Amino acid sequence: MIYLETPKKHRALVDQVHQVAMNMLRPVSRKYDLAEHEYPKELDMLAAMADGLDQSGASEGAGATGVRRSADDDTSNKNGSNMASALSVLEMCWGDTGLTLAMPRQGLGNSAIASVATDAQLEKFKGTWASMAITEPSFGSDSSAITTTAKKDGDAYVLNGEKIFVTSGERSDSIVVWATLDKSLGKAAIKSFVVTKDMPGVKVERLEHKLGIRASDTAVITFTDVRVPAENLLGNPEINVQEGFAGAMATFDNTRPLVAAMAVGCARASLDLTRDLLAQAGVEIDYDKAATLQHAAAAKFLQLEADWEAAHLLTLQAAWMADNKKPNSLEASMSKAKAGRVGSDVTLSCVELCAGIGYSEAELLEKWARDSKILDIFEGTQQIQQLIVARRVLGLSSSELK
């Protein structure tokens, strides 16, 4: 069963990552928020450290490349790479969400590769920095509406289409592109391909200016007659209409808890600073006294912490289930829905509680409020997550409940 405290085996990792977030990310957070699209060179050293830890085994599988379910038959309780990744991402986003998303070789595409790639593909793409390209100009959250095509031609697939809102789209060296093999076969024909940036026909059209996570580049990328080796199709190339979209959506079962962890980490940063600022203003939070008997700001803070705790536990539950080979589609969407909403509510409420200080650039509270909003949108919006949860709870298909 899942326990309510940080697993003992991961505590050293959590402490190390927290120190990195506090001493390396937080000090340059404002710098790269103001210098949008400037590459954070400080991340190169962090990436080198992460690579060293990974090679030595000291990272315990943390990071995007560690998100993969075990194939062994051991039924004992596990706190493995999914839990380590969620905990480390949480701490990194306590430091800075945009910089976390900009970490080399830790893109969402890396999580997609780790989730569905074969062992041979894992070895082939080891060390790559992969962004993930799903959204198109014609749709947002409905991934089944993909129009980018992949036509088989000999020993390659030819990709044509346009993707928008590609996180790390300019800086990454490869892209996990979602495309359809045959539009007439619907969702079942949607597959993901690893496309390297040096392939002819790949073009970064522009970078977006954004409300938050400005340290992370977000690109529009077009694919024009891009020939991709057949072995770059992730997972099974066969179209299984019985399986439908389940194979492709399995990626999200692992990546959505990571996005939830990002929201939980950003919200935790806001709560920690708000508690300190309230204390400086003479408002103390008393956990042994009823909220109704305390200052209104203290009562509000206690409510925000309760919401945060629920999001935190849901996130850890989804990660724990993945580590223990339990189907977690429902829990992944629950964690993403809860944490996404809580992240926005907490960060904006902290701005309000701290009044002028919260709204100004004197502190990072206003930045965290801007950063957190995207975490309720990408990897499936709040509304989409609630729809998925409703389908799972009611036992209805996507055609029965739209």
Residue tagged active-site, from 361, 366, 379, 400: 379
SS (H, E, C) the chain: CCCCCCCHHHHHHHHHHHHHHHHHHHHHHHHHHHCCCCCCCHHHHHHHHHHHHHHHCCCCCCCHHHCCCCCCCCCCCCCCHHHHHHHHHHHHHHHCHHHHHCCCCCCHHHHHHHHHCCHHHHHHCCCCCEEEECCECCECCCHHHCCCEEEEECCEEEEEEEEEEEECCCCCCEEEEEEECCHHHHHHHEEEEEEECCCCCEEEEEECCCCCCCCCCEEEEEEEEEEEEHHHECCCCCCCCCCCCHHHHHHHHHHHHHHHHHHHHHHHHHHHHHHHHHHHCCCCCCCCCCHHHCCHHHHHHHHHHHHHHHHHHHHHHHHHHHHCCCCCHHHHHHHHHHHHHHHHHHHHHHHHHCHHHHHCCCCCHHHHHHHHHHHHCCCCCHHHHHHHHHHHHHCCCCCCCC
Active-site residue, 379 included? yes
**Active-site residues: which are they?**
379
